[in-house]
């Protein structure tokens, strides 16, 4: 039996250090029995940030790693994220907008409020009718108070953070607390054994590093999974057209300017602009399709969005190759992060995919090489499913548009650009609202059916309500709607301002777990 004891992660950044932390924390008790986690990182290659937005899953991930939430805010320029607001995606009008919040609709496991809201055809948006979170974001409020313990919330939340500082924060915690071995070296060669597995990596510094399982976190270069293992890349540019981004860091005009507690995504002529508020600056970027607009015009749209304050700010250009590996775990090599693939940053799926992959590797770590193939097959099946569902969900934002003002928006609703599964679901949703028991067949979906409800009904889609179908749970729905009204009023009156809470956390600290 060839025991799996030495895990080697090649590449740092968010993907490398988050993976190292998840695995090391899970197997901390085995360190005295020879289990090791080694991260090899080049001192000469700058880290490519995977974005500044996260999902609520990161709270549980960091808690299991033993990270302090207070220290996260102090060292990573973190802010709270309570969802996303999408402006001008449906009609392109100035007042066109809706929220995809992180809170589930009231009593979501007991009653589907969507048909009841559809039957009323009331004045409230779907988001406001079923959750307080859109109103909380409108008022610039935080999702918790100073009395709320670390990682707990009054409202559900994730984070916005400085990706570079987050990587360094994770590095210190992994090395100082979790016993991860850090090797600064440039990998020059990946050596395979006679079975096709990776035996070791050689470095320019003369260090040879052997391992039983190798995790490829080398970013777009994919030095292990692509170059050494020969796994090909599956493009999805025929579905998701955006392939370029222009990013800029925009300082606040005043130190006490309010910080949005949600991502702002504003549609443009051939893409969209993200706007993420951190305590010290805003991260703003234009994601667009170079087949539909040239870089100069895209930059003009970005500058117009920024206003006079962004007139002379330097812009960083990034290329996006939308797609993922044909397989993610081959032999004793598994890809995580950009080495596995990347899609446009809409809905912040990059970091959550790192989390889910690292969690599955850690929890299903093969005891020996003899059973690694079984674990790899399971990992590949689950991960391929997740990438497919993310592609579906991102495409949904485009296929629901009513905009016809440019070729970009017209091309996005062409049937041949819509994945078959999504096309079938959209047909189903004309007559049956998404809900937990209907169409989602995995226990750990990246986007739950509630997310589909928020986007569908936020963008004006409608599901037919058949006569006699909502009477059975009408009283339960009325109670849930009343509860939402009461909860909204209570949160609006009790939650602090977003910047105010962040300042107090940095100064005084939250209650530890």
Could you write out the three-class secondary structure of 108-176?
Answer: CCCCCHHHHHHHHCCCCCHHHHHCCHHHHHHCCECCCCCCCCCCCCCCCCEEECCHHHHHHHHHHHHHH
A 10 A CB-CB count for 215 gives 31
Tens digit of each residue's pLDDT (9 = 90 or more) over 371-400: 999 999 999 999 999 999 999 999 999 999
How many angstroms separate the CA atoms of 381 and 193, rounded? 26
**Which tokens hold the place of 125?**
């948006």
The single-letter DSSP state of residue 277 is E
Judged by average pLDDT, the poorest of 47-51, 88-92, 173-177, 201-205 is 47-51
A 10 A CB-CB count for 149 gives 12
> Mind giving me the DSSP string for 282-306?
EEEEEEE-TTTS-HHHHHHHHHHHH
Contacts of 393 (CB under 8 A, 6+ apart): 347, 446, 447, 451, 452, 455
Stretch 348-356: mean pLDDT: 94
- Provide the pLDDT confidence category of residue 511 given band limits of 50, 70 and 90: confident
How many angstroms separate the CA atoms of 336 and 476, rounded? 43
* Domain ranges within the chain, ordered by starting residue: 6-52+162-235+322-372
pLDDT of residue 444: 63
Name the phi and psi angles at 374, rounded to 5: -65, -45
- Provide the pLDDT confidence category of residue 164 given band limits of 50, 70 and 90: very high
The pTM of the full predicted model, rounded to 2 decimals, is 0.96
Q: State the DSSP H helix or E strand holding residue 60, giving kind and residue range, or none if neither.
A: helix 57-65
What is the share, in percent, of the chain residues with pLDDT greater than 90? Answer: 92
pLDDT of residue 439: 46
Which residue reads 């006079």 in tokens? 308
pLDDT of residue 44: 85
- Provide the pLDDT confidence category of residue 308 given band limits of 50, 70 and 90: very high
Stretch 144-165: mean pLDDT: 97
Identify the CATH assignment for 6-52+162-235+322-372 out of 3.10.20.30, 3.50.50.60, 3.40.50.300, 3.30.300.10.
Answer: 3.50.50.60
CB environment 52-70: b (16+ within 10 A), e (fewer): bbbbbbbbebbbebebbbb
pLDDT at 15 over 70: yes
Three-state DSSP string of 253-270: CCCCCCCCCCEEEEECCC
Mean pLDDT score of the chain: 95
pLDDT at 227 over 60: yes
Largest CA distance in the chain: 74
196: left (phi over 0), alpha (psi -120 to 50) or beta: left
Tens digit of each residue's pLDDT (9 = 90 or more) over 399-451: 999 999 999 999 999 999 999 999 999 999 999 999 986 545 555 678 999 99
Tens digit of each residue's pLDDT (9 = 90 or more) over 20-71: 999 999 999 999 999 999 999 999 877 665 458 999 999 999 999 999 999 9
**Which tokens hold the place of 312?**
């002379």
Stretch 182-187: mean pLDDT: 97
Contacts of 271 (CB under 8 A, 6+ apart): 242, 286, 287, 288, 289, 292, 293, 298, 408
Active site residues: 81
What is the share, in percent, of the chain residues with pLDDT greater than 70? Answer: 97
Stretch 473-490: mean pLDDT: 97
pLDDT of residue 50: 46
pLDDT at 187 over 70: yes
Tens digit of each residue's pLDDT (9 = 90 or more) over 362-372: 999 999 999 99
């Amino acid at each position: 039996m060839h025991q799996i004891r030495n895990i080697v992660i090649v590449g740092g950044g968010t993907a490398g250090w988050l993976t190292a932390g998840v695995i090391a924390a899970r197997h901390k008790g085995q360190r005295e029995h020879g289990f090791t986690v080694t991260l090899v990182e080049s001192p000469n290659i700058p880290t490519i940030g995977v974005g500044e937005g996260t999902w609520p899953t990161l709270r549980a991930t960091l808690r299991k790693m033993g990270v302090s939430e207070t220290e996260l805010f102090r060292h990573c320029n973190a802010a709270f994220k309570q969802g996303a607001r999408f402006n001008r995606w449906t009609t392109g009008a100035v007042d066109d907008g809706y929220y995809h919040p992180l809170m589930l609709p009231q009593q979501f496991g007991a009653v589907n409020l969507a048909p009841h809201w559809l039957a009323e055809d009331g004045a409230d948006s779907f988001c406001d009718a079923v959750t307080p979170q859109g109103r909380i974001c409108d008022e610039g409020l935080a999702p918790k108070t100073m009395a709320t313990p670390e990682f707990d919330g009054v409202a559900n939340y994730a984070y916005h953070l400085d990706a570079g500082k987050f990587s360094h924060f994770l590095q210190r915690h992994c090395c100082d607390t979790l016993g991860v071995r850090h090797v600064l070296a440039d990998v020059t060669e990946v050596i395979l054994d006679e079975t096709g597995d990776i035996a070791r990596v050689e470095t320019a510094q003369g260090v040879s590093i052997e391992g039983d399982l190798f995790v490829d976190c080398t970013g777009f270069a994919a030095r292990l999974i692509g170059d050494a293992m020969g796994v090909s890349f599956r493009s999805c540019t025929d579905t998701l057209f955006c392939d370029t981004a222009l990013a800029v860091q925009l300082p606040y005009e005043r130190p006490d300017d309010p910080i949005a507690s949600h991502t702002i995504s504003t549609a443009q002529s051939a893409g969209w602009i993200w706007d993420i508020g951190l305590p010290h600056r805003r991260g703003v970027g234009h994601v667009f399709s170079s087949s539909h607009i040239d870089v100069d015009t895209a930059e003009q749209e970005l500058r117009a969005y920024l206003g006079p304050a962004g007139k002379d700010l330097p812009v960083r250009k990034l290329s996006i190759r939308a797609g993922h590996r044909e397989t993610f775990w081959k032999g004793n090599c598994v890809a995580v992060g950009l080495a596995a693939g990347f899609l446009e940053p809409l809905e912040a799926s990059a970091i959550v995919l790192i989390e889910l992959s690292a969690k599955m590797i850690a929890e299903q770590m093969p005891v020996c090489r003899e059973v690694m193939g079984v674990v790899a097959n399971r990992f590949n099946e689950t991960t391929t499913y997740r990438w497919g569902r993310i592609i579906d969900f991102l495409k949904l934002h485009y296929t629901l548009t009513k905009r016809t003002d440019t070729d970009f928006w017209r091309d996005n609703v062409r049937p041949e650009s819509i994945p078959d599964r999504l096309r079938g679901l959209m047909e189903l949703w004309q007559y049956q609202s998404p809900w937990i028991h209907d169409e989602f067949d995995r226990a750990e979906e990246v986007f739950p059916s509630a997310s589909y409800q928020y986007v569908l009904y936020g963008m004006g889609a409608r599901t037919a309500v058949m006569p006699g179908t909502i009477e059975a749970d009408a009283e339960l729905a009325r109670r849930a709607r009343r509860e939402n009204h009461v909860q909204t009023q209570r949160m609006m009156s009790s939650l602090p301002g977003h910047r105010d809470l962040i300042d107090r956390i940095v100064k005084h600290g939250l209650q530890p777990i």
